[in-house]
Structure 1
Amino acid sequence: MASITFKGNPVTLLGNEVKVGDTAPDFKVLANDLSVVNLADSKGQVRLISVVPSIDTGVCDAQTRRFNEEAASLDNVKVLTVSVDLPFAQKRWCGANGIDNVQTLSDHRDLSFGEAFGVTIKELRLLARAVFVVDSNDKVVYVEYVSEATDHPNYEAAVEAAKAAN
């Protein structure tokens, strides 16, 4: 498993580590309207999946804004942001911040995404910061588990992977 720290302290990740070349695991999360969303809902598109601990914190806010900006120039790429924030909080945050190119998804109910992608932080019941790119055939083509959960991911590498997967 990836070795992750949160504010310098080692944490335990639950679930299975995903690697480039793997078939992306399925998951069930909630959209802002409480409908269930899974991987198959975006089949045929490249997916850039941005994972954040909580959308209301500084780095998570910046990460979601950055991928929202990048999404405007990505053809046939669906950008998803997954956190354990409640769908209502995600919807409020997106509305207050003009976020309309990213779909925010909540994993608060079952931690289905977190366990499928190996990003559930056992000690905090949050998701570790990570970025995954899944191609239109559900193959994982890019993986970044950010080693310190309060650091930024490599935005450029993730966006380039999404463009190349198209």
Structure 2
Amino acid sequence: MAKVTLKNNEVHTIGELPAINAIAPAFNLVGAGLADKSLSDYKGKRVILNIFPSVDTGTCAMSVRHFNESAAKLDNAVVLCISRDLPFAQDRFCGAEGIKNVEMLSDFREGQFGKDYGVLFTDGPLKGLLSRAVVIIDPQGKVVYTEQVAETTNEPNYEKALAALK
């Protein structure tokens, strides 16, 4: 269980992020148009998982915008922005913001992703949502970078995450 804070108040997640060099846990999420999406859909690509509580918060929206801008410059890579928001809310946000270089995925159906990746909040006001984290997976499906953001209202370390792709 990871200990993180939300506005300096301690909250907890269900577990820990996957270990570096471990095979990334498979997942089934929901994408645009309610399409089923799985990790295997991105086989052979470098995958950046930008995980956060809700696209309707300022910090989460900033992370999507930042990765959207960065993703346009990446080769053989895809950025998956994952929350428990409904796909309709994710689509609305992307349309309003002109977001085109990342894929929005939702864990709203089963919540299994949050459990398998250790990011599901187990207490506090965001209980049931996903904590802010970044996980990078190489083309062979191995985890090469993780960051569990210690203070939920802070943005992830974009530079360090993107450097892990080199």
Q: Structure 1 residues 143 and 135, CA, compared in 2 at 3 Å: closer, same or farther?
A: same
**CA deviation after TM superposition for structure 1 residue 35, in Å:** 1.2
Per the TM alignment, residue 17 of structure 1 is displaced from its structure 2 partner at its CA by: 3.0
Alignment partner, residue 138 of structure 2: 135
Aligned to 2:157: 154
Is 1:35 the equivalent of 2:35? yes
CA RMSD of aligned residues (A): 1.0
CA contact (8 A) 1:81 1:103 kept: yes
- Runs (5+) with no aligned partner, structure 2: none
| Map of 1:66 onto structure 2 | 66
TM-score normalised to structure 1 length: 0.95
Per-residue deviation, residues 18-66 of structure 1 (Å, max 9, x unmatched)? 1211110011110021111111010000001100111011110110000
User: Shift in Å at residue 16 of structure 1?
Assistant: 4.8
Which stretch of structure 1 is more off in the superposition, 108-117 or 63-72?
Answer: 108-117
**AA in 2 matched with 1:140:** V
Aligned residues: 163
Q: CA deviation at 1:3?
A: 1.9
Give me the whole-angstrom Cα distance separating, in 2, the residues matched to 1:150 and 1:18.
Answer: 22
Superposed CA offset, 1:115-163 (max 9, x none): 111000022111000001000000000000001111111000111112x
Map residues 12-31 of structure 1 onto 2, 5 A cutoff. Answer: 12-31=12-31
Structure 1 runs of 4+ aligned residues shifted over 6 Å read: none
Aligned residue type for 2:158: Y
Query: Can you give the 5+ residue segments of structure 1 that lack an aligned partner in the other structure?
Result: none
What is the 5 A alignment of 1:5-154?
A: 5-123=5-123, 124-154=127-157
One-letter amino acid matched to 1:145: Q
**TM-score, normalization by structure 2:** 0.95
Structure 2 equivalent of residue 2 of structure 1: 2
8 Å CA contact 1:21, 1:139 repeated in 2: yes
* Percent of aligned positions that are identical: 46
What SS does structure 1 have at the residue aligned with 2:164?
helix
Cα distance in 1, alignment partners of residues 139 and 7 from structure 2? 35
Q: Please give the alpha-carbon distance, in whole angstroms, between the structure 2 residues aligned to 1:18 and 1:10.
A: 21
Counterpart of 2:34, as a letter, is L
